[in-house]
């Protein structure tokens, strides 16, 4: 397949990353690295998928966590429903995963179709409004969602193909695989003709339209891809916590994802992932010393935004790009003089 050949470097990196993740999870005899990394898988997918909208397309969504929560709840609810698990048996986990993915895709298609026609602040606020709507539904539909208690009692995970997600090692390996595959998909999408169309829209949507790009449809496709991958992040978190909680759909969850992007950088593919790791570590370290974690994290973000004026990896990227551009410009001047 040409796709495999074109992206052989990225695929090789993904395979190596997966093996390293397995080595860490299985080699270290403590649950801590596995738990830490699994939460990174979930929140990393949330932040990276949000960056498809913010960094690549210039659409600042404040309601992205809605899809994260939606994926987690669909997955959890299906597996808690006895009729589903008893009828499907071993196939119920993979099918619940597929259902969560398709469900989140459809949900983001509906929300996206309404939102992507708007720009900037209107887009941001409408996505936020839909997220708070979902949050209210989760809180008030107690008989289905458990309201503010979340999905209690654990999520049953019947084994399939010799994989038992009730087992911590199996679960970790499955989550790592899903995470790596999703990151690889995002990498391909951002380096595809579609990915460069997103950059055109971010830079100058009107010009893109005058070059024949259907801006609304491209934004909608991006919104659905981003929403679906956030949904997968939610599934990972539901598996990990064996539940689903309304806070996942709260606006602060979307805010945290934006923090991760700001911290790590929005113009480098892995920036949001680095941001997710940094924010988690920061959170854990600060918690060892004080219970006022939010104020300390707020100060750090303030420093990054006002001091560096960009995320950590953006800083490195800009430095590199500036140097490369200066070199090319100098070469061009020399060429003209000759």
Partner 1 sequence: MLRLENVVKTFGGVVATDHVSLDFPDGSLSAVIGPNGAGKTTLFNLITGHLVPDSGRILLGDQDIAGMEPARIVRKGVGRAFQVASIFPTMTVEQALMAAVASHVHMSEHLLSAFPPPSVRQRAEELVELLGMGGVARLLCSNISHGDQKLLDIGLALALEPRVLLLDEPTAGMGPEERWQMIRTVRRLWEQGRMTLVFIEHDMDIVFEVSQTISVLRYGAVLAQGTADEIRSNPEVIEAYLGTENYEEQPA
Binding region for partner 1 (CB under 8 A)? 2-3, 6-7, 188-189, 191-197, 199-200, 202-204, 206-215, 217-218, 221, 225, 267, 321, 325, 328-329, 331-332, 335-336
For the bound state, the minimum distance from the C-beta of residue 105 to partner 1, rounded and expressed in Å, comes to: 13
**Token duo for residue 20:** 């390293």
d(CA 94, CA 174): 11
Q: In this complex, which beta carbon is closest to partner 1, that of residue 192 or of residue 283?
A: 192
For the bound state, the minimum distance from the C-beta of residue 207 to partner 1, rounded and expressed in Å, comes to: 4
Q: In this complex, which beta carbon is closest to partner 1, that of residue 292 or of residue 323?
A: 323
- Cβ count within 10 A of residue 137: 13
Q: In this complex, which beta carbon is closest to partner 1, that of residue 137 or of residue 328?
A: 328
Q: In this complex, which beta carbon is closest to partner 1, that of residue 280 or of residue 317?
A: 317
Nearest-10 Cα torsion for 103, 184, 201, 328: 170
- Per the CB < 8 A criterion, the answer to whether 215 and 208 are in contact is yes
Q: In this complex, which beta carbon is closest to partner 1, that of residue 169 or of residue 207?
A: 207
Between the alpha carbon of residue 41 and those of residues 21, 58, 80, 177, the distances in Å are: 11, 24, 23, 10
Q: In this complex, which beta carbon is closest to partner 1, that of residue 285 or of residue 329?
A: 329
- Per the CB < 8 A criterion, the answer to whether 109 and 231 are in contact is no
Secondary structure tally for the chain: helices H, strands E: 15, 0
Q: In this complex, which beta carbon is closest to partner 1, that of residue 38 or of residue 57?
A: 57
For the bound state, the minimum distance from the C-beta of residue 310 to partner 1, rounded and expressed in Å, comes to: 13
For the bound state, the minimum distance from the C-beta of residue 214 to partner 1, rounded and expressed in Å, comes to: 6
- Give the 3-state secondary structure of residue 160: strand
d(CA 318, CA 328): 15
- Per the CB < 8 A criterion, the answer to whether 182 and 45 are in contact is yes
For the bound state, the minimum distance from the C-beta of residue 219 to partner 1, rounded and expressed in Å, comes to: 11
For the bound state, the minimum distance from the C-beta of residue 249 to partner 1, rounded and expressed in Å, comes to: 27
For the bound state, the minimum distance from the C-beta of residue 57 to partner 1, rounded and expressed in Å, comes to: 13
**Token duo for residue 159:** 């084994």
CA angle, residues 183, 301, 59, in degrees to nearest 5: 50
**212: part of which helix (H) or strand (E)?**
none
| DSSP letter string, 88-155 | HGGGHHHHHHHHHHHHHHHHHHHHHHHHTTS-HHHHHHHHHHHHHHHHHHHHH-HHHH-GGG-S-S--
Q: In this complex, which beta carbon is closest to partner 1, that of residue 134 or of residue 208?
A: 208
- Per the CB < 8 A criterion, the answer to whether 250 and 135 are in contact is yes
- Per the CB < 8 A criterion, the answer to whether 75 and 100 are in contact is yes
For the bound state, the minimum distance from the C-beta of residue 321 to partner 1, rounded and expressed in Å, comes to: 8
For the bound state, the minimum distance from the C-beta of residue 333 to partner 1, rounded and expressed in Å, comes to: 9
Q: In this complex, which beta carbon is closest to partner 1, that of residue 34 or of residue 219?
A: 219
**Token duo for residue 131:** 């997220």
d(CA 223, CA 130): 14
């Amino acid at each position: 397949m040409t796709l495999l050949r074109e992206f052989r470097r990225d695929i090789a990196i993904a395979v190596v990353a997966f093996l390293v993740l397995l080595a860490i999870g299985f080699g270290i005899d403590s649950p801590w690295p596995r738990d830490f990394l699994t939460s990174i898988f979930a929140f990393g997918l949330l932040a990276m998928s949000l960056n498809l909208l913010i960094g690549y397309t210039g659409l600042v969504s404040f309601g992205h966590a809605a899809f994260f929560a939606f994926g987690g709840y669909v997955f959890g609810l299906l597996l808690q429903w006895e009729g589903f698990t008893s009828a499907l048996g071993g196939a119920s986990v993979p099918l619940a995963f597929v259902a969560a993915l398709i469900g989140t895709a459809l949900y983001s298609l509906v929300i996206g179709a309404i939102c992507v026609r708007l720009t900037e602040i209107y887009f941001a606020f409408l996505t936020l409004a839909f997220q708070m709507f979902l949050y209210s539904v989760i809180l008030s539909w107690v008989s289905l969602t458990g309201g503010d208690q979340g999905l209690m009692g654990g999520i049953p995970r019947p084994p399939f193909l010799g994989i038992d997600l009730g087992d911590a090692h199996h679960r970790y390996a499955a989550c790592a695989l899903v995470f790596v595959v999703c990151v690889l998909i995002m990498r391909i999408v951002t380096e595809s003709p579609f990915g460069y169309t997103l950059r055109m829209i971010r830079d100058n949507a009107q010009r893109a339209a005058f070059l024949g790009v259907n801006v609304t449809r491209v934004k909608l496709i991006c919104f659905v891809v981003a929403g679906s991958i956030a949904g997968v992040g939610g599934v990972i978190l539901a598996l990990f916590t064996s539940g689903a909680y309304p806070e996942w759909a709260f606006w602060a969850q979307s805010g945290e994802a934006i923090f991760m992007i700001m911290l790590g950088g929005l113009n480098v593919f892995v920036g949001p992932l680095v941001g997710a790791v940094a924010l988690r570590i920061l959170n854990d370290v600060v918690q060892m010393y004080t219970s006022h974690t939010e104020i300390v994290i707020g100060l750090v973000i303030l420093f990054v935004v006002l001091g560096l004026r960009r995320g950590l990896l953006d800083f490195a990227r800009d430095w590199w790009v500036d140097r490369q551009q200066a070199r090319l410009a100098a070469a061009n001047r020399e060429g003209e003089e000759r």
